[in-house]
């Protein structure tokens, strides 16, 4: 089925800063697109505004770079009227979670079949360095010279709070991990959110350093896969177990913990409690960062439901065009 | 069109039904207008409802009115003041009497004029007629509630259900006054309540009771003439509101264009009925999405347009402000989009249920950058159908967003809509699609050299992948460009593309060859301005009317028409937006202006007085007419 190579999806010369995480991610997206086997003309890439939202200029598909924050809304309209289109919706943390926050949560809630990509560098790059809704409290930037006095959004929390059915995370420089979750996002029917941890070399350099290279990921990340034990470490020597209402990191073979005590990841579990706990793990609290598909639950999609309802109502009603519609009214005749 | 029909004042009657919001006044009014239309009368209706959903029963703020104008020939407005006022309770009499002509017949339900009712309506004594200076001879005072209960005694209905039929008693009485055939009313109700025959039967019984009451008491409306039917264009008709007609126009246009219809919308008064109406017609393939906000309503429609639909968004009041950003994306992306703005009182939340024409300049200019956008204004409730159809056709054939301006007055008002006999009667719509020759080397900015319209490539087709976006593009390659010359060229090109859209000439009605005064208006004031013109002509003045339906681009003969007459008055329900626009487009055009922003339709008699003041300047000048120059 796969007649395409990543070159079929490439276009133009990206103009992001040298070293920007967007370059890495774009290459992974091209490859993932090829691996889906969907023809370029059956795809649309739709973005908002910001550095990462320039991405549609570098794909050889149907594409729109739109207005700030509205990509999810625009993609929603496109998907509903043209449901065969495979739509990748690209936003940054400002575009998706600040100005576009309302559209983001409602796309999740409706569960419209969009592959929503959130490139998270925790900074506003295109406007040259202001804090974003994912910047940590106290973050010093041009618009917060004395540090921010507000807490950030954690994208997974927002996604789950909006009843999202798919959440995955990858690191821009990790091609293998990125391609794997992008393919899973494509396979998932319904709204999917893939958070891409991405560095901004100019305004927020080193923001994801602890997981930005292989070595760091071995120490500080856990790759979660459905049906597999939640183990991590250079030799998979650590595992996650449930303790009380929370998770706990244990060393396998120590303190009486065996591999049997370690949780098996269930991305398909309807109840998102433990998935959320996985998604919220942070090295600051002594946990690894979870990478991979954290939640992937099947649910009715909005676009399918819309078309199903059109078909159902059509089968019930006796009028199917404008002239027949007119006849449903109280009509009188003047001779 | 209109000038062929001479309206005779004596052949018209205006009836205003008023009561609590829940009293069913609209249904009574609708039945009366439909039955009148069935026998060949011209009809026009207008609901006047409060912003509160259900204000306390019997209170002054809870009164809603429904005015019906019927005439021997065509009628152009719902009428200024009524000949017959139905007041179902004391509060209705108190608030609605001001809409009655001197000497009008008043019908009241005396059972709703008890001490408590009078107190709620803020009457000071029991002599409510005296307090309002109403001559008791003109009042048909009837204990409707008791009579309804008596009529339904054996029906087995409970008290509450019986009281709901009071509106039908009033209707029966009005039918007696105007000699309406009760069989027609009965047929209407049988169809309306086809699934609930018991309700139909009860209503018919009560109507008969109301009719008989009129007969038995020899009730008459002293000042009212019997309405004769005159010949109207033969054909099949239905009563339609402006909002419903707008929805129908879009459905017809989508079918004609062979495209799915998409409406992205967010509920807002008074545009919501368009969303309601379109949401019903899924069996015609109509897709509606009630979006998370106004922004998304418009943005999702832009996405739907990109993906290959006839896309529309509908709103009112502040909603249009929120949509302007996404409308502008459709401008630079040159995507077809119909933006329906049902204007209401502003600024901000303003007067949500009232009507005015104050969004004209926003529709024309209310966006950042050079943002040319066609604007069409519907003339009447039934014209909303044609205007919506035309807006869709223009959008699809010229790949541009189009603003359709209606307002609360035409949106909620209704008229008799002549049904097309087949789809062939409607104009063809040919969306400006890509052609096979462009396959493989298409860019979105290839254009037809005559119309300057680009070619629409719908995603999913091989060989036409492309990117659209909000950034300025090179006019040839479609690549991002900040080149100064290119941007200047693109701004002019987008403007020129809209300017080249062909629109019909401005029509002049009345004494078009030599009028002393040309009345100019736009959109929904057509009926009132036309009636005012006819009044003036009857009085011996030479007057003409030019009503703008196409506002951008303007008809080619605009300057010629405006310069032809010695006096021109621009009358509009705002503080002078059309006048300002026309002055910017036509050199040395200095009109008189008549401006009102009351949230209510124009009153023909006030227009006549103001225009006479222009024709005979020795009369006292009234404040709302002024020369637009600071003289």
As for the ipTM of the complex, it is: 0.97
Residues of B in contact with A334 (CB under 8 A): 40, 232-237
Residues of A in contact with B293 (CB under 8 A): 102
Q: A59 is written with which tokens?
A: 């794909």
> d(Cα B363, Cα B472) in Å, to the nearest integer?
22
% of chain A beyond a pLDDT of 90: 97
> d(Cα B276, Cα B428) in Å, to the nearest integer?
27
Q: How distant is the Cα of A317 from the closest Cα of chain B, in angstroms?
A: 6
| Per-chain mean pLDDT for chain B | 91
Q: A7 is written with which tokens?
A: 């070159």
State residue B54's pLDDT score.
Answer: 66
What are the φ and ψ backbone dihedral angles of B203, each rounded to 5 degrees?
A: -65, -40
Q: How distant is the Cα of B233 from the closest Cα of chain A, in angstroms?
A: 7
Topology adopted by domain B239-425:
Rossmann fold (3.40.50)
What's the pLDDT tens digit per position in A172-227? 999 999 999 999 999 999 999 999 999 999 999 999 999 999 999 999 999 999 99
What's the pLDDT tens digit per position in B291-345? 999 999 999 999 999 999 999 999 999 999 999 999 999 999 999 999 999 999 9
The pairing of strands B625-627 and B592-595 is antiparallel
What are the φ and ψ backbone dihedral angles of A70, each rounded to 5 degrees?
A: -100, 5
State whether residue B6 is helix, strand or coil.
coil
Count the helix, strand and coil residues of chain B and give each as a percent rounded to the nearest 5. 40, 20, 40
What are the φ and ψ backbone dihedral angles of A27, each rounded to 5 degrees?
A: -60, -40
User: Given pLDDT bands bounded at 50, 70 and 90, which one contains residue B232?
Assistant: low
Q: Is the pLDDT of residue B287 over 70?
A: yes
State whether residue B35 is helix, strand or coil.
helix
Q: How distant is the Cα of A100 from the closest Cα of chain B, in angstroms?
A: 10
State whether residue B102 is helix, strand or coil.
strand
Superfamily of domain B2-216, CATH level 4: Pyruvate-ferredoxin oxidoreductase, PFOR, domain III (3.40.920.10)
**Would you tell me the crossing angle of helices A101-110 and A71-81 to the nearest 10 degrees?**
30
Decide: B298 and B313 in contact? Cβ < 8 Å: yes
What's the pLDDT tens digit per position in B453-512? 999 999 999 999 999 999 999 998 888 999 999 999 999 999 999 999 999 999 999 999
Q: What is the dihedral of CA B420, B425, B429, B430, to 10 degrees?
A: 150
Cα radius of gyration rounded to whole Å, chain B: 26
User: Given pLDDT bands bounded at 50, 70 and 90, which one contains residue B625?
Assistant: low
> d(Cα A181, Cα A179) in Å, to the nearest integer?
6
More confident site: B379 or B180? B379
Q: Is the pLDDT of residue B240 over 80?
A: yes
DSSP-assigned letter for residue B208: H
DSSP-assigned letter for residue B264: E
* CATH class in words for B508-627: alpha beta
State whether residue A110 is helix, strand or coil.
helix
Q: B501 is written with which tokens?
A: 């859209």
Comparing B150-154, B375-379, B422-426, the range with the smallest average pLDDT is B150-154
> d(Cα B62, Cα B55) in Å, to the nearest integer?
5
Quote the strand ranges of chain A, DSSP E: 43-47, 62-65, 86-92, 115-120, 166-171, 192-197, 221-224, 231-232, 238-243, 246-251, 289-296, 331-334
Distances, alpha carbon A244 to alpha carbons A228, A241, A247, A256, B543, in Å = 22, 10, 8, 17, 87
Q: What is the mean pLDDT of residues B578-598?
A: 97
Q: B198 is written with which tokens?
A: 């018991």
> d(Cα B279, Cα B290) in Å, to the nearest integer?
9
Decide: B86 and B32 in contact? Cβ < 8 Å: no
> d(Cα B91, Cα B111) in Å, to the nearest integer?
13
β-bridge mates for residue B339, sequence order: B313, B403
Q: What is the mean pLDDT of residues B205-211?
A: 93
Residues of A in contact with B246 (CB under 8 A): none
Q: What is the dihedral of CA A32, A36, A40, A46, to 10 degrees?
A: -60
Q: What is the mean pLDDT of residues B261-278?
A: 97
Residue-wise burial string across B246-260, b where 16 or more C-beta atoms lie within 10 A, e elsewhere: bbbbbbbbbbbbebb
State residue B149's pLDDT score.
Answer: 93
* Residue in chain B nearest A40 by alpha carbon: B465
State residue B118's pLDDT score.
Answer: 94
User: Given pLDDT bands bounded at 50, 70 and 90, which one contains residue B229?
Assistant: low
What are the φ and ψ backbone dihedral angles of A212, each rounded to 5 degrees?
A: -80, -20
Q: Do B296 and A103 touch (CB under 8 A)?
A: yes
State whether residue A245 is helix, strand or coil.
coil
The pairing of strands B82-87 and B100-109 is parallel
Decide: B262 and B312 in contact? Cβ < 8 Å: yes
Q: How many Cα atoms are found within 13 Å in the side-chain-facing hemisphere of A184?
A: 28
CB-based contact, A305 to chain B, within 8 Å: no
CB-based contact, B378 to chain A, within 8 Å: no
Q: Is the pLDDT of residue B220 over 80?
A: no
* Residue in chain B nearest A84 by alpha carbon: B460
User: Given pLDDT bands bounded at 50, 70 and 90, which one contains residue B630?
Assistant: very low
CATH architecture of residue range(s) A6-212: 3-Layer(aba) Sandwich (3.40)
Q: What is the mean pLDDT of residues B192-197?
A: 88
Q: Is the pLDDT of residue B224 over 80?
A: no
DSSP-assigned letter for residue A98: I
Q: Is the pLDDT of residue B5 over 50?
A: no
* Residue in chain B nearest A61 by alpha carbon: B465
Same fold, B239-425 and B508-627: yes
Q: How many Cα atoms are found within 13 Å in the side-chain-facing hemisphere of B135?
A: 9
Residue whose tokens read 């998979």 = A236
Nearest to B235 among A42, A321, A334 (CB): A334
More confident site: B566 or B8? B566
Q: Do A80 and B262 touch (CB under 8 A)?
A: yes
State residue A190's pLDDT score.
Answer: 98
State residue B61's pLDDT score.
Answer: 87
Non-local (6+) Cβ contacts of B347 within 8 A are B358
What's the pLDDT tens digit per position in A298-321? 999 999 999 999 999 999 999 999
% of chain B beyond a pLDDT of 70: 93
What's the pLDDT tens digit per position in A142-155? 999 999 999 999 99
* Residue in chain B nearest A89 by alpha carbon: B303
State residue B297's pLDDT score.
Answer: 98
DSSP-assigned letter for residue B266: -
Decide: B70 and B36 in contact? Cβ < 8 Å: yes
β-bridge mates for residue B508, sequence order: B546
What's the pLDDT tens digit per position in A125-139? 999 999 999 999 999
DSSP-assigned letter for residue B11: G
Q: What is the mean pLDDT of residues B389-400?
A: 98
Scanning B42-181, the segments in alpha helix (DSSP H) are: 90-96, 115-120, 128-131, 144-151, 159-163, 166-177
Other CB atoms within a 10 A radius of the CB of residue B131 amount to 14
Nearest to A323 among B292, B422, B465 (CB): B422
State whether residue B125 is helix, strand or coil.
coil
% of chain B beyond a pLDDT of 90: 74
Residue whose tokens read 């108190």 = B94
Q: Do A65 and B233 touch (CB under 8 A)?
A: no
> d(Cα A182, Cα A63) in Å, to the nearest integer?
18
Decide: A18 and A199 in contact? Cβ < 8 Å: no
Residues of B in contact with A330 (CB under 8 A): 34, 188, 191-192, 238-239
Q: What is the mean pLDDT of residues B159-163?
A: 89
Decide: A21 and A198 in contact? Cβ < 8 Å: yes
State residue B1's pLDDT score.
Answer: 33
State whether residue A248 is helix, strand or coil.
strand
Q: How many Cα atoms are found within 13 Å in the side-chain-facing hemisphere of B249?
A: 28
Residues of A in contact with B191 (CB under 8 A): 330
Q: Is the pLDDT of residue B10 over 70?
A: no
Q: A6 is written with which tokens?
A: 């990543």
Q: Is the pLDDT of residue B627 over 80?
A: no
Q: Do A77 and B38 touch (CB under 8 A)?
A: no
Opening angle at CA B560, ends B554 and B564, nearest 5: 135
Nearest to A332 among B37, B284, B309 (CB): B37
Quote the strand ranges of B523-616, DSSP E: 543-548, 550-552, 568-572, 592-595
Q: A134 is written with which tokens?
A: 């994912």
Residue whose tokens read 């003109």 = B138
Q: Is the pLDDT of residue B222 over 50?
A: no
Mutate to test the interface with B, among A40, A304, A334, A335 (most CBs of B within 10 A): A334
The pairing of strands B42-48 and B63-71 is antiparallel
User: Given pLDDT bands bounded at 50, 70 and 90, which one contains residue B71?
Assistant: confident
State residue B544's pLDDT score.
Answer: 98
What's the pLDDT tens digit per position in A230-272? 999 999 999 999 999 999 999 999 999 999 999 999 999 999 9
Cβ-Cβ pairs closer than 8 A, A with B, add up to: 203
Q: Domain spans of chain B?
A: 2-216, 239-425, 432-502, 508-627
Scanning A204-301, the segments in alpha helix (DSSP H) are: 209-212, 214-220, 273-280
State residue A2's pLDDT score.
Answer: 54
| Per-chain mean pLDDT for chain A | 96
């Amino acid at each position: 089925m796969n007649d395409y190579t990543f070159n079929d999806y490439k276009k133009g010369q990206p103009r992001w800063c040298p070293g920007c995480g967007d370059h890495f991610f774009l290459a992974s997206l091209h490859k993932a697109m090829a691996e889906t086997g969907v023809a370029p003309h059956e795809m649309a890439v739709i973005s908002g505004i910001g550095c990462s939202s320039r991405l549609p200029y570098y794909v050889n598909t149907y594409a729109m770079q739109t207005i700030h924050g509205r990509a999810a809304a625009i993609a929603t309209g496109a998907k509903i009227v043209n449901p065969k289109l495979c739509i990748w919706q690209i936003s940054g943390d400002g575009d998706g979670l600040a100005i576009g926050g309302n559209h983001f949560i409602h796309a999740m809630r409706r569960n419209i079949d969009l592959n929503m990509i959130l490139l998270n560098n925790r900074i506003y790059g295109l406007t040259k360095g202001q804090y974003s809704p994912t910047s940590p409290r106290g973050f010093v930037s041009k618009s917060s010279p004395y540090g921010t006095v507000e807490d950030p959004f954690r994208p997974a929390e927002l996604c789950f709070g909006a009843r999202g059915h798919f959440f995955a995370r990858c690191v821009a420089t990790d091609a293998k991990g990125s391609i794997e979750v992008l393919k899973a996002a494509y396979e998932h029917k319904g709204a999917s959110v893939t958070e891409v941890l991405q560095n901004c070399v100019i305004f927020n350099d080193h923001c994801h350093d602890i997981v930005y290279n292989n070595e760091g990921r071995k120490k500080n990340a856990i790759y979660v896969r459905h049906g597999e034990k939640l183990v991590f470490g250079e030799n998979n020597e650590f595992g996650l177990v449930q303790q009380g209402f929370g998770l706990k990191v244990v060393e396998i073979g120590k303190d009486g913990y065996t591999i049997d005590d370690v949780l098996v990841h269930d991305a398909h579990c309807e109840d998102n409690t433990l998935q959320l706990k996985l998604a919220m793990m942070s090295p600051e609290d002594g946990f690894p960062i979870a990478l991979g598909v954290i939640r992937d639950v099947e649910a009715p999609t909005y676009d399918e439901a819309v078309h199903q309802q059109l078909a159902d109502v059509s089968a019930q009603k006796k009028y199917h065009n404008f002239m027949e519609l007119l006849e449903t009214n109280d009509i009188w005749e003047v001779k | 069109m209109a000038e062929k029909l001479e309206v005779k004042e004596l052949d018209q009657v205006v009836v205003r039904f008023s009561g609590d919001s829940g009293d069913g006044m609209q249904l009574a009014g609708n039945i009366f207008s439909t039955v009148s239309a069935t026998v060949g009368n011209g009809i026009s209706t207008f609901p006047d409802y409060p912003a509160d959903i259900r204000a306390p029963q019997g209170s002054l703020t809870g009164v809603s009115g429904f005015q019906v104008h019927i005439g021997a020939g065509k009628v152009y407005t719902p009428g200024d003041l009524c000949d017959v006022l139905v007041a179902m309770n004391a509060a209705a009499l108190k608030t609605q009497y001001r809409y009655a002509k001197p000497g009008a017949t008043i019908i009241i339900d005396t059972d709703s004029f008890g001490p408590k009712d009078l107190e709620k309506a803020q009457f000071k004594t029991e002599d409510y007629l005296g307090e309002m200076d109403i001559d008791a001879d003109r009042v048909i005072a009837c204990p409707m509630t008791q009579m309804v209960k008596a009529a339904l005694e054996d029906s087995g209905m409970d008290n509450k259900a019986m009281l709901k039929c009071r509106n039908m008693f009033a209707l029966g009485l009005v039918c007696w006054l105007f000699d309406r055939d009760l069989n027609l009313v009965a047929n209407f109700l049988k169809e309306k309540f086809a699934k609930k025959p018991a309700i139909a039967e009860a209503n018919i019984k009560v109507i008969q009771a109301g009719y008989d009451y009129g007969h038995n008491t020899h009730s008459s409306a002293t000042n009212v003439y019997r309405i004769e039917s005159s010949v109207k264009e033969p054909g099949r008709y239905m009563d339609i509101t402006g909002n419903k007609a707008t929805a129908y126009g879009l459905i017809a246009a989508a079918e004609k264009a062979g495209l799915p219809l998409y409406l992205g919308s967010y509920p807002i008064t008074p545009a919501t009925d368009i969303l309601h109406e379109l949401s019903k017609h899924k069996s015609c393939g109509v897709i509606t999405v009630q979006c998370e906000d106004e922004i998304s309503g418009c943005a999702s429609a832009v996405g739907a347009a990109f993906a290959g639909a006839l896309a529309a968004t509908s709103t009112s009041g502040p909603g249009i402000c929120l949509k302007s950003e996404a409308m502008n994306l459709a401008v630079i992306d040159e995507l077809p989009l119909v933006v329906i703005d049902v204007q209401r009182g502003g600024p901000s939340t303003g007067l949500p249920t009232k009507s005015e024409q104050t969004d004209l300049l926003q529709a024309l200019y209310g966006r950042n950058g050079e943002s040319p956008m066609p604007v069409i204004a519907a003339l009447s409730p039934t014209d909303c159908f044609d205007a919506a159809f035309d807006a869709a056709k223009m959008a699809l054939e010229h790949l541009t967003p189009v603003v359709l301006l209606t307002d609360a007055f035409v949106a909620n008002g209704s008229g008799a809509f002549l049904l097309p006999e087949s789809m062939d009667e409607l104009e063809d719509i040919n969306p400006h699609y890509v052609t096979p020759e462009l396959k493989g080397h298409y860019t979105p900015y290839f254009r037809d050299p005559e119309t300057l319209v680009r070619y629409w490539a719908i995603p999913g087709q091989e060989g036409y992948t492309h990117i659209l976006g909000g950034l300025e593009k090179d006019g040839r390659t479609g690549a991002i460009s900040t080149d100064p010359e290119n941007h200047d060229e693109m701004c002019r090109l987008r403007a020129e593309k809209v300017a080249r859209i062909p629109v019909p000439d401005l029509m002049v009605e009345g004494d078009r060859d030599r009028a002393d005064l040309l009345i100019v208006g736009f959109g929904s004031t057509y009926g009132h301005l036309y009636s005012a013109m006819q009044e003036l002509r009857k009085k011996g003045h030479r007057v003409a009317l030019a009503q703008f339906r196409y506002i951008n681009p303007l008809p080619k003969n605009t300057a010629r028409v405006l310069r032809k007459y010695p006096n021109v008055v621009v009358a509009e329900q705002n503080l002078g937006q059309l006048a300002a626009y026309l002055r910017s487009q036509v050199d040395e055009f200095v009109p008189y202006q008549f401006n009102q922003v009351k949230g209510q339709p124009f009153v023909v008699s006030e227009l006549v007085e103001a225009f006479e003041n222009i024709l005979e300047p020795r009369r006292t000048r009234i404040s709302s007419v002024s020369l637009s120059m600071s003289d």
